[in-house]
Structure formats: structure tokens, C-alpha cells
Chains A and B, each alone.
Chain A
Amino acid sequence: MHNSIFSVRDPDKGYLFQVIAMLLANVFGLIAWGVFRSPCSMLIILAPGIIVAIVFSEFKYKEIAKISFKSGAIIALFFIFTLMIMEYSYLLIFFCFIYVFILFASKKTRYLISFAILPCSLAFIMPLGFESAVNRVVECFFSSFFALFSVFVIKEIFAKYRMRKILNLLLDEMNLLLTSLSSTRSLVKLSDDLRMNELILKSENLILKNRYFYNINFRYSKKMKIYFKYIIRIERTIYLFRDFKNEKNKSFVEEVKVILNMLNTAICNKRLSFCVSVQMPSWSRDDFSYFDNYFAFNVLRKELLKMSDELNSEFSMKADI
């Protein structure tokens, strides 16, 4: 399974969680339809999932709620007008043109309408009349609420897993980079670099930008932020390493690898404790062929000690997770 399409194209399971949230929203809609039946339509089953697709990449719940209800309002407005003017063919055509044009032409609403247009298409098969329009508006409101709720549930339930997973992937990638660096050549391969940067991009979104509601997730993300901060610094020291083939001190790469593995274990461990218990050798300038490697190793040493201190002080203040 390691090299399956899932692990290559969705290594951090980001897509999977997004689609699970969409599915959950749809299931809520299906349940609502099952309970209320006749006043409800297909809209309540289709729209929540689509709204989740729009909002899942947002980071703050306030923003998620705002966009969910905005999308709901866009769908509701389309339904109201379409149901009102359905009998007047040319007016309907003109309305569709203007509505789609205005929303697609605005940078703020283009992304919303590009998804919302899918449930909007259902307007043409809905029963006409005021009552029907009111029902559709209520359905849109419920759809927004279901979307918001399912995003909240999925994000909070899987928060720890996702944060842990992304940092583990980042560390694995760094390990791989080090291995290829030390075994083949001194320069970093571009594809490795791109993969690494993509993971940093995702980690930044997930750990630094996301705001979690539950205290337990919030605290966990706070500790993960510390890890992320230092992992970024370690990653940068790796780029400073130079010309392994001609470097006389070969063992410092092994030292770095040990550190990366220790970090990986610490992140997998629920207690998130980490300390530089290994005796990191204090090499002098003469032990290295290049100043770059000496400098990078010193920086790494310093950063790891700082990280250990910061994590320990965080632990001593609060109870374990």
C-alpha cells in the first residue's frame, strides 16, 4: 500500500477528510429529508455536501460559518427568483445570464458560485409558488447549517491525527533528503525539494493557520506549533550541508538522522515529550572539512536544545494530553 495511488496523491489524507465531511453533510441532509419528506426536496441532500466543498479549506470557524451562509444565500436567491419568474421564459433567461455573470465576474463570489451553481440547477424542476420558495429557502438555511456542523465535527475529530500525520510525513521527507544527499550527491534533487515544500505548505495551513474549538485540540496544536517551528529550522540546516563525498566527518549525518527519528517517535507518542537525551557530540571546526557543515551542525545543536527547553517548559505548566 505504501506506493498506492492513495499514498502518492493523498499522503496526508486531506482529500479523504474533505470528502468524508461532504458525505457527512449529505447524510444529515438525507436524514432531514427522511424526517420531513414532502416539504423537502433533493436540494437538502445535494447542497450541504457542495457547501462543504467550498468551505473546507478555510481555517477559522467564523469564516467557515460566514461563507456557508453566504453560499446558502446565493443558492436561496437563485431559487426565489427562478421560482418567481419561471413562467416568463425570456425574463428567466435574462435573469440567469445576469445572476451568473455578476457572481462569476466578482473575485469574491466566483469560487462560491462555481460550486453553488450545481444545486442551483435544481431550481428548474421545483414546484412553483410562494410556499415552495419558502421551503427552498429553509432548505438552504439547513444546508448551510449541516455543512458548518459536519466541517466542525470532522475537523475537530481528526485534528490530532492530521497534525501528527503531516509532521511525520515532513520528517520522513527530511530523512529521505538526508539519505539521498549523503549517498548520491551534494545537491538536492528538485523533485525532493518540491515534495518537501508542498508538505511545508500543508503543515503551515493545518498547524499554524487552523483555529481549533476544543481545548484539547487547541493545546495539542500549540505544542505542534513548537515542533513545526523547529522542524522548519532543522530543515533549513539540512540545505546548508555541503559536499558529503569530500567531507571527512561522515558521522554527523547519522547524528542528524537519529535526531529526526527521535522527533518522529516523539510526535507519534501521545505525550509529545522530547528532549535531547542523546549526547550530541560537540565537534570543533577541525573535525569538519567545510565551514558550511560545521556551521549547520552548530545551528542544529543550538536549535534542538532550545526546542527541548521550550517543550519542557510547556509541559511543566500544563497537564499532559
Chain B
Amino acid sequence: MLKYIILKPDEMYKKEAFRIALSFAVGVLLMNVFNIEEGHWIIFSLAFIFLGGCAHGFLAERTLKIVIGTVTGLFFGLIYLVLLSFNLYVYSYLVPIFFFLAFYLYFLNRMDYFYLAFFISAYLLVLNTITAPVYMNYNLANTIFSMGICAVIGGGIHFLTNSFIFKSTSKPKETTLPILKNIHANCINVFESVNANFTKSRFIEGMNVSKLVSILDEMKSVGNLSETIAHELNFVKDNANHYKNFMNHCELFVTSIKKMTLISNHKFDEQQGSEIVNKFLERVKFIGYDNFDLSKEFIKIYKTSGIKIREESTDFLYLKNVHSALWNMNRIKKQINFIEMSSS
């Protein structure tokens, strides 16, 4: 499941659910009150949009893609039926290929609604025709016209509800912050866990793969969302850089942790230096990861302890990466603060 669905604040979650439910209710209302033929296509059009959890950004573009995709897809379905299926019934059984193309092209083109709407519309039209009971009077031209109109109505409902009701919930800008904070918390967690293993000379069996994968997974979600955010109205241009920096520092942090894990598992020339590493880590943890000057703290400890670390030792190598991880963690926090300040 996509991380940004889970990590949204509860309040925003409910607001978004209300907006989606309202869209569907309005669709059903229009369908029933005006007795629109093929009215369920309004609901279909809305269902395309919310496929996979939720929809973020590009409101006008998304709506347009759904409408154009549906209308052209219906036209394509009509051509398929008239030219092939009505002449030879066997062609109707090839219809699952449309379903295949709809989803494969949708995934391949990074969730582009056009392909989904185009092929699913053609698929459902052909399916509708072949599964209709024999006694039913079926006017294909009428059906296609009604379906097209319903797609436009569906798109319109989506556009209006998104524009006027809890509009902040469809903006990724609001949803990225909880993910960013979660990533930062996970970074601290994994950093502390590696250090604990290092100081106690314990072997890290899984090499922290799962923890790092979780951070990377969330980072990927932020990456996708930040691309969308850049196209939002009222977007602060400087934020694009903050998101970019955030990603870079995260990536560097993960690399440092990777190295630290490996070094921790291969402490083959253990010496006195480990003690100073422990002291430094304790001090950093005590002060807090965000409020300290790395070099100052380290020099203070180094001078008072009187222990020398050999430059060519595992401890020194480990310490170098600890420094890099902490520095990146600090920068991650700073980027989050910048983004938070500009959002508020």
C-alpha cells in the first residue's frame, strides 16, 4: 500500500473521505433525479479517479484526461464492435486484452489516467454489449452518447468538489509533512540501533535492510508527491529546493548507515578508540540530534579523554561515517523545518 495513504493525519483523512463520499452521492443524486440513461457511468468516471487510494494535484489535467480518455475509448469500442465483433462473434472474446492494456499502460506510464479510461471504457462497452440479455432492446449509438455525457458529468463533479470542498486535502503539500517527520524519526531510530550494536559489539544479522528499505520507500513517496506539488497553485518555489535537498540528504544518510552497519559487523582491529566513539554518541544523544555543533562536541570529548584514535582503524572509519550520518540527519531536520514554516 502507498505510504502516503497511511501517514496522513486522521483529520485530513476524514475530510478527504467526506469529499469523496459527497462526489459519489452527488453522482447518484443526478443519476436518480434526472433519470439519466447509463447514469452509472458517472460513478465509473469517479471511480477511475480514486483508483489506488486517493488523487493528488493536477486537478484540471486529471479531469480532462478522464473525460477525453472515456469519450475516445467509447468511440474506439464502437469501431471494434461494428467492424469486428458484429461480423464475427469470436472477436468479442478478445476483450480481456483491453483490460490488460488498460492497466499495463496505466502502470507503465506512471498512473496516467488517459490509458486507463480509454481502454476500460472500450472494455466495458464491449462487455456491456456481449453480456446484455437477448431480449433487451439495445441502442448502441444512444448508449455511447449517454456514456460520453455521463463521463463529462462525472469529471465535472470531481472538479467542483475538489475545488470547493476541503480543497487542502487534495494538495500533496499538506500530506508530505507527516511523511517527512516519519522519515526523520525512522532515521534516528536506525542510527541509534546501529550505534547500540556497535558499542556492544553485536553482529547485525539483517544488515538493517528492512529499516533502510522502509526509509527509502517513504522517500520514494515524497519524491513522487514533490513532483506533483511543484505544479500546485500558490506553491513556494524555494520549497522545490528543500524537497530536493531533503531527498539528497536522506540518500546520503542511508549510504552512511549502510557503511556503518558493515563496519560495525567487521570490527577486526578493535582498540581503545571504541571508548571515545561511545562517549561521543552518548553526548550527542544527551544534547539531542538537532541542537549541537558536531566538531565542537567531538573536540571537547577528544581533548578531555586523552585517548588517541589511530587514523587507520575501524573506529576511525566508523566515526567518519557517524559524523556524516549526523550531519545529514541535521540537514534533514532543517529541510523539514523550512517546509513546515512555508506551509504554515
Interface of A is mostly: helix
Contact residues, A250-296 vs B (CB, 8 A)? 285, 291-292, 295
Interface of B is mostly: helix
Q: Tell me, in angstroms, the Cα distance from A104 to B5 when the chains sit together.
A: 11
> Are the C-beta atoms of A236 and B209 separated by less than 8 Å?
no
> Are the C-beta atoms of A188 and B255 separated by less than 8 Å?
yes
Task: Point out the residues of chain A lying under 8 angstroms from B127, CB to CB.
Answer: 42, 45-46
> Are the C-beta atoms of B96 and A125 separated by less than 8 Å?
no
> Are the C-beta atoms of A299 and B262 separated by less than 8 Å?
yes
Q: A-facing mask of B316-334, CB < 8 A → 1, else 0?
A: 0100000000000000000
Q: B-facing mask of A5-32, CB < 8 A → 1, else 0?
A: 1100110000110111011001100100
Tally chain A residues at the interface, Cβ within 8 Å: 73
Q: Tell me, in angstroms, the Cα distance from A124 to B32 when the chains sit together.
A: 10
Q: Pick from B21-29, B78-86, B285-293, B294-302 the stretch touching chain A.
A: B21-29
Contacts A27-B96, A96-B28, A121-B44 known; A101 to B17 CB distance under 8 Å?
yes
Task: Point out the residues of chain A lying under 8 angstroms from B18, CB to CB.
Answer: 101, 105
> Are the C-beta atoms of A33 and B28 separated by less than 8 Å?
no
Most buried by A among B22, B103, B261: B103
Task: Point out the residues of chain B lying under 8 angstroms from A23, CB to CB.
Answer: 96-97, 99-100
Q: Tell me, in angstroms, the Cα distance from A310 to B55 when the chains sit together.
A: 47
Q: B-facing mask of A90-134, CB < 8 A → 1, else 0?
A: 001110111011001101001100110110111111000000000
Say if the beta carbon of B254 comes within 8 Å of chain A: yes
Q: Tell me, in angstroms, the Cα distance from A125 to B248 when the chains sit together.
A: 52
Task: Point out the residues of chain A lying under 8 angstroms from B93, CB to CB.
Answer: 30
> Are the C-beta atoms of B39 and A236 separated by less than 8 Å?
no
Say if the beta carbon of A183 comes within 8 Å of chain B: no
> Are the C-beta atoms of A115 and B103 separated by less than 8 Å?
no
Say if the beta carbon of A72 comes within 8 Å of chain B: no
Task: Point out the residues of chain B lying under 8 angstroms from A89, CB to CB.
Answer: 32-33
Say if the beta carbon of A197 comes within 8 Å of chain B: yes
Partner of B31, one of A6, A27, A124: A124
Q: CB-nearest residue of chain B relative to A30?
A: B96
> Are the C-beta atoms of A16 and B104 separated by less than 8 Å?
yes
Which bucket holds chain B's interface residue count?
Answer: 35 or more
Q: Tell me, in angstroms, the Cα distance from A201 to B311 when the chains sit together.
A: 34
Q: Tell me, in angstroms, the Cα distance from A66 to B216 when the chains sit together.
A: 28
Contacts A19-B104, A22-B99 known; A194 to B251 CB distance under 8 Å?
yes
Partner of B259, one of A15, A18, A194, A240: A240
> Are the C-beta atoms of A295 and B317 separated by less than 8 Å?
yes
> Are the C-beta atoms of A239 and B220 separated by less than 8 Å?
no
Task: Point out the residues of chain B lying under 8 angstroms from A320, CB to CB.
Answer: none
Contacts A93-B25, A204-B209 known; A26 to B32 CB distance under 8 Å?
no
Within the complex, the shortest CB–CB distance from A40 to chain B, in Å, comes to 8
Partner of A10, one of B25, B54, B107, B263: B107
> Are the C-beta atoms of A291 and B108 separated by less than 8 Å?
no
Pairs A–B under 8 Å by Cβ, sample size 24: A22-B99, A23-B100, A30-B93, A40-B131, A42-B131, A49-B99, A93-B32, A96-B25, A100-B21, A107-B6, A111-B53, A117-B24, A118-B47, A120-B47, A124-B31, A201-B213, A204-B209, A232-B207, A233-B207, A235-B258, A239-B258, A285-B312, A292-B317, A295-B263
Shortest Cβ-Cβ A-B pairs, 9 listed: A101-B21, A105-B17, A104-B17, A97-B25, A121-B43, A124-B40, A291-B312, A100-B21, A15-B107
Q: What would 14 more interface pairs be, CB under 8 Å, given A100-B20, A110-B17, A233-B262?
A: A20-B100, A22-B99, A30-B93, A93-B25, A111-B2, A114-B50, A117-B50, A118-B47, A118-B48, A124-B43, A200-B216, A208-B209, A291-B311, A291-B312
